[in-house]
């Protein structure tokens, strides 16, 4: 053969590493997309990494699931809920769209809940500030009322004392005059 093609060189075959599934990982993929989910949707396991819909549904189904059986049951439940796909869509795309919208709604509901909770907390803080201000003003007013009542009591006591003192002075003034007039009267009487 050397004459037909010239001289040929002998080369060693290239070394190719073959990855094997680790023990206990049979049926699992190396890319976190489970082979059973690929089989469920009739997706070629070799091309499974190229499909973002498959990755999204896989991640959703496995999130919170205790095993692949529970993850597949979640997918099956959604498939029964959404029904048969239309002519131009696949089972995977129908489930993907439902899960995507479900997650979007859940995310918005969570944002709404957080925003309402924040608003409620802000309202409670403002209300507490107002209540504290009202309580402080009430205490100040109570102090002022107490002070005014004490001033009124002192004024009444002073007025009654002054009234008593004035009446005494008036009585003293007129009693002297009355005594003198009575004396004069008695003088004229006795004559």
**Tens-digit pLDDT profile for residues 43-97:** 887 766 668 888 899 889 988 888 899 999 999 998 898 888 888 888 888 999 9
Identify the domain containing residue 32 by its residue range.
26-106
* Residue 137 reports pLDDT greater than 50: yes
187: left (phi over 0), alpha (psi -120 to 50) or beta: alpha
Q: Which of the two residues, 35 and 3, has the higher pLDDT score?
A: 35
**pLDDT at residue 101, rounded to an integer:** 93
pLDDT digits 0-9 by tens, 96-130: 999 999 999 999 999 999 999 999 999 999 999 98
Report yes or no on 43 lying in a domain. yes
What was the pLDDT predicted at 163? 67
pTM over 0.85: no
- Provide the greatest CA pair distance for the chain: 193
Contact indicator for 26, 35 with CB cutoff of 8 Å: no
d(CA 43, CA 54): 9
Has residue 10 got a pLDDT over 80? no
d(CA 59, CA 34): 9
Residue 38, pLDDT score: 86
51 located within any domain: yes
pLDDT in tens, 138-185: 888 888 888 888 888 887 777 777 667 777 788 778 777 778 888 877
CA distances from 10 to 7, 14, 25 (A): 10, 12, 40
The whole-angstrom separation of Cα 124 and Cα 47 is 55
Does residue 66 fall inside a structural domain? Answer: yes
pLDDT of residue 113: 94
Q: pLDDT digits over 19-31, tens only?
A: 343 333 444 444 6
CA separation for the pair 100, 107 (Å, rounded)? 10
Say how many domains are in the chain.
1
Which residues are within 8 A (CB) of 49 and not within 5 positions of it... i.e. 6 or more apart? Answer: 31, 33, 55
In a domain, 144, yes or no: no
Per the domain annotation, does 76 fall within a domain? yes
Q: Does residue 57 sit within a domain?
A: yes
DSSP annotation string for the chain = -HHHH------PPPP-----PPTT-TT--SSS--HHHHHHTT--GGGGGG-HHHHHHHHHHHTT-SSHHHHHHHHHHHHHHH-S--TTS-HHHHHHHHHHHHHHHHHHHHHHHHHHHHHHHHHHHHHHHHHHHHHHHHHHHHHHHHHHHHHHHHHHHHHHHHHHHHHHHHHHHHHHHHHHHHHHHHHHH--
68 part of a folded domain: yes
Kindly state the tokens that stand for 27: 């049926």
Residue 53 lies in a domain: yes
């Amino acid at each position: 053969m050397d004459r037909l093609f010239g001289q040929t060189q002998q080369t060693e075959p290239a070394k190719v590493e073959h990855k094997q599934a680790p023990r206990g990982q049979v049926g699992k993929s190396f890319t976190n997309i489970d082979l059973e989910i690929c089989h469920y949707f009739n997706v070629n396991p070799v091309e499974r990494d190229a499909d973002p819909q498959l990755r999204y549904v896989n991640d959703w189904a496995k999130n919170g699931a205790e095993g692949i059986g529970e993850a597949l049951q979640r997918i099956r439940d959604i498939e029964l809920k959404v029904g048969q796909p239309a002519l131009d869509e696949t089972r995977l795309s129908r489930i993907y769209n439902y899960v995507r919208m479900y997650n979007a709604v859940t995310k918005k509901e969570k944002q709404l809940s957080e925003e309402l909770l924040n608003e409620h907390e802000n309202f409670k803080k403002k209300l507490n500030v107002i209540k504290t201000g009202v309580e402080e003003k009430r205490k100040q007013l109570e102090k002022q009322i107490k002070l005014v009542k004490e001033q009124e009591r002192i004024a009444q006591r002073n007025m009654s004392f002054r009234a008593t003192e004035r009446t005494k002075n008036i009585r003293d003034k007129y009693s002297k005059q009355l005594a003198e007039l009575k004396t004069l009267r008695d003088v004229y009487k006795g004559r």
